Amino acid sequence: MRHIARKRERRRHSRSPIGKVVPVLWEDEDGQEKLLQGRLMDVSVSGARILVPLRLPPRAVVSFNCFSLTVGGRGTVRYCNPARGGYEIGVEMSNGTGWRDPNKDLQNLAAAVDRADAAAQPSDSPKTHSDAAPKVP
């Protein structure tokens, strides 16, 4: 049986699948703004993958907004690959997309629960005379 090596995930933030149509504004090489419709395929804290009908050049400035999910922003095209129905572009957003990483939210929640549990547990420090329970005859 042949062993298939899997590519190591290099992304800092996990992607979340979306699938919503969004307006995409981009600047061509002459600095002219163009508008097209794209499909937001997935999003992370710092980027997005969008299916667009045109080939966009790497490093082109792109902006999009998905108001229903409160994500969007301005970034640069990192790659543009042919895909069924158009081209998939990877957009890197240096100021973020506004997306909250659900894994990070779960990690923060777990840390808060741990802190609350630690605060609720009695401390292991020795009791002073005033802390001791009164003796019952």
Write down the pLDDT at residue 70.
87
Which stretches of the chain are assigned E, i.e. beta strand?
A: 16-27, 33-43, 47-52, 61-66, 71-83, 86-92
Q: Are 65 and 98 in contact (CB under 8 A)?
A: no
Percent of the chain with pLDDT over 70: 65
Backbone angles phi, psi at 127, to 5 degrees: -80, 140
Write down the pLDDT at residue 97.
83
Domains of the chain: 16-92 (2.40.10.220)
Mean pLDDT of 88-100: 88
User: What type of residue sits at position 38?
Assistant: G
Q: How confident is the model at residue 26 (pLDDT cuts 50, 70, 90)?
A: very high
Half-sphere exposure of 119 (CA within 13 A, CB side): 6
